[in-house]
Amino acid sequence: MTPGTRFKVANTFTEITASTPEKSLLAPMKKSGGRNNTGKMTMRYMGGGHKQKYRIIDFKRNKHNIPATVKSIEYDPNRTAFIALLYYADGEKSYILAPKGLEVGQTVTSGPGSIPQVGNAMTLSEIPLGSEIHNVELNPGQGAKICRSAGGYAQLLNRDGRFAVIKMPSGETRMILATCMATMGKLSNSEHNLEISGKAGRKRWLGRRPRNRGVSMNPVDHPMGGGEGRSSGGQPRSRTGKLAKGAKTRDKKKASNKYILERRKK
């Protein structure tokens, strides 16, 4: 036991079956360190970190009615959920987000007529009511935007004409066009939120630099800065002056408001 491992809580990665990624599905990733094209720091607390390559993920699942075999379950440094490597019957390979319970050797399909089982993708109009789903599209053909992080899932509650009603992980209930695609099951690595780094160095490996509090700054740097000695900082707010605790920031005239049936839980 060292100081770095004494309070560390890490994943055992028992679900991972491969240690090297598929070369044809990798893309280069350049780190910016939070600087823009003129070299000015526009995002703070970023920099360093281990070199990474991007894994090209298929969020559209538009190879319809072509069976694919799960070759391996892999770790992806760019996201919290695990990914699965698929070998399609026509010879193509692709990565998808790995749902919980997906195993090597299993066959998955997408498109009309697919069986509603873990890993299969289909439109919301074909998925049985009450099912747990992830990788949900907001617009048909756009690619998945909702429920993509570790352990995430939404629930299909109802169908009303052209729309399906789903309950989001946040507790929000909203309508989405029933022609949008979704994948069956909940995502893998559901215990990701229980992980504890154990030491500051592990944060640095991820490219995260030390973050200091607003109250410890000067008034020129932060609205909560300044004061004699240690002060509370007054009204909690962001560096740009936006209220931080409880103030509503959503636009009242936002077009998608009409699709939201119940707002997220506070």
Please calculate the CA angle 265-97-135 and round it to the nearest 5 degrees. 45
* Rounded Cα–Cα distance for residues 205 and 255 (Å): 40
- Helix/strand/coil for 194: helix
Q: Is-contact 145 154, C-beta < 8 A?
A: no
Instruction: Please report the pLDDT score of residue 130 as a whole number.
Output: 97
Strand pairing category for 154-160 and 163-167: antiparallel
At 248, the pLDDT band (50, 70, 90 cuts) reads confident
Strand pairing category for 144-146 and 26-28: unpaired
Strand pairing category for 121-123 and 132-134: unpaired
Residue 177 reports pLDDT greater than 90: yes
Residue 1 reports pLDDT greater than 80: yes
Q: What is the mean pLDDT of the chain?
A: 95
* Rounded Cα–Cα distance for residues 199 and 107 (Å): 41
What is this structure's pTM? 0.92
Domain ranges of the chain: 3-192
Q: Which CATH superfamily is domain 3-192 in?
A: Nucleic acid-binding proteins (2.40.50.140)
- Helix/strand/coil for 260: strand
At 137, the pLDDT band (50, 70, 90 cuts) reads very high
Burial class (CB in 10 A: 0-12, 13-18, 19+), 88: middle
The per-residue pLDDT for range 202-234, each reduced to its tens digit, is 999 999 999 999 999 999 999 999 999 999 999
Q: Is-contact 202 2, C-beta < 8 A?
A: no
Report CA-CA distances (Å) from 68 to 57, 97, 222: 15, 14, 53
The per-residue pLDDT for range 17-54, each reduced to its tens digit, is 999 999 999 999 999 999 999 999 999 999 999 999 99
Instruction: Please report the pLDDT score of residue 246 as a whole number.
Output: 85
